[in-house]
Amino acid sequence: MRSVVVGKHGNRYAHARLAFGIVWLFSLFFFVSSCKPGNAPSSADSQNTPMDHQPRSSVPSELPPRREKIWTDFNGAQALAEARVLANFGPRPSGSDANKQIRQHLIDRLTKLGWQIAEQRFTARMPDGKDAEFCNLVARFARFPASPKRILIGAHFDTSGTREFRDVGASDGAANTATLLELAQVLALDPQLAGHVELLFLDGEAPFQELTLNDGLFGSRFYSQMLRINQHAGDLYAAILLGNVGSTNLNFAPNSDAKLAAALKQAGTVLGIKLEPANRSLLSDHVPFSEAGVPSITLLDAESPFLHTADDTMERLDADSLAKTGILILYFVATTITMQ
């Protein structure tokens, strides 16, 4: 997450948005494949969003009863414990051994919870002209057919690769990913609701130098580019992305989709959860989705003084704050799907 200058020079942000697609298409050299040996897709399949051609399971004959007020099942303490596990992997910049290890950890956890994982690999050019490899994880619930219209919830698991200090990304990379894992666990209690959700674990959020139109947000840019190419943006009702969470404030990027922001803020009012806009526009993971035509929003603590520092450690996280984020998202998902 980075701020974008607005005000007198607000047209700078607008021009950046117009240039976004052109710069990214020329800077991105990519391929999509399964990361599992022996499952590499054909050249035709490589242009599709993961799971597009996978057979969908039939509706199970016996389903557990629907969960009333499923949002109350979110456990902030469990999310905090998982965040500690993830932070203990240490700094995990894209392409590092720690990044690969945490990715396997996520696959193992999600698979045990009943989620089917597709690994989305791609290559993009770094500012120094060299290519770097990334791998997103896309999860859909395996025990109920995926809905043709879904709500996407995403978070990045990578951290900065800086050598100036040790950044374990407790709030920004661990807590947001741990929140996603706890959401996966709760949604598994209601397969029908889980079938309307797609979980996206993003690689490459952190820039190699400084966040610009072609450095950083690699995972969300690539995934959104695939939505455009395959004309699947209409499959998503909304995209909710998590930045740094689990500390004092819960904000949303003010350049998020206005209707989606209003709906989540209204949900917060019902639940007694304060959700306020940040005081500046943010270049964060919701922006590529917005450019692809998907109503999108980033939730984060916009005022954290510890973000992208060596002090972004577990001591800064709070179980109640994590619970507020998870409860808000679950309430929105459950009530939105009910109204469809």
pLDDT tier at 242, thresholds 50, 70, 90: very high
Please provide residue 26's backbone torsions phi and psi, each rounded to the nearest 5 degrees.
-80, -25
pLDDT tens column, 108-141:
999 999 999 999 999 999 888 899 999 999 999 9
3-state secondary structure 169-234: CHHHHHHHHHHHHHHHHHHCCCHHHHCCEEEEEECCCCCCCCCECCECCHHHHHHHHHHHHCCCHH
The average pLDDT across 81-90 equals 98
Give every CB contact of residue 332 below 8 A, 6+ residues apart in sequence: 240, 263, 264, 267
pLDDT for the residue numbered 7: 40
Q: What tens digit of pLDDT does each residue of 207-241 get? A: 998 888 789 999 999 999 999 999 999 999 999 99
> What is the per-residue pLDDT across 157-191, written as a single tens digit (0 to 9) for each?
999 887 788 989 999 999 999 999 999 999 999 99
| Cα separation of the two ends of the chain | 32
Lowest pLDDT segment from 17-21, 165-169, 192-196, 252-256: 17-21
Q: List the structure tokens of 128.
A: 């120094």
The whole-number pLDDT of residue 287 equals 96
Average pLDDT of the chain, as a whole number: 85
* DSSP strands (E only) in the chain: 2-3, 115-125, 131-141, 150-156, 197-202, 236-242, 251-252, 276-277, 282-283, 296-300
Comparing CA positions, the residue from 136, 3, 116 lying closest to residue 57 is 116
pLDDT band at 58 (very low <50, low <70, confident <90, very high): low
Q: Residues 6 or more apart from 24 whose CB is under 8 A from it?
A: 213, 214, 221, 225
Contact (CB, 8 A) for 157 and 100: no
Report the alpha-carbon distance of residue 255 to residue 38 in Å, rounded: 42
d(CA 111, CA 142) in angstroms, rounded, equals 9
3 state DSSP class of 145: coil
Three-state SS at 117? strand
The count of other CB atoms within 10 Å of the CB of residue 215 is 18
What is the DSSP secondary structure assignment for residue 235, as one 8-state letter?
G
Residue with structure tokens 């896309």?
138
Q: Do the beta carbons of residue 145 and residue 107 sit within 8 Å?
A: no
Domain 9-36+64-339: assigned CATH number: 3.40.630.10
Domain range annotation of the chain: 9-36+64-339
Question: Quick one: DSSP state of residue 116?
Answer: E
Within a 10 A sphere around the Cβ of 58, how many other Cβ atoms? 8
Q: What pLDDT is stored for residue 248 in this prediction? A: 86
What confidence category does residue 61 fall into, taking pLDDT thresholds of 50, 70 and 90?
low
Quick one: pLDDT at residue 37?
33
Q: What are phi and psi of 34, to 5 degrees?
A: -70, 140
Instruction: Report the alpha-carbon distance of residue 224 to residue 206 in Å, rounded.
Output: 17
Q: Helix, strand, coil shares of the chain as percentages rounded to 5?
A: 40, 15, 45
pLDDT digit string, tens, across residues 254-308: 999 999 999 999 999 999 999 999 999 999 999 999 999 999 999 999 999 898 8
Token pair, residue 237, equals: 């009702």
CA distance 179 to 329: 10
pTM of the model: 0.84
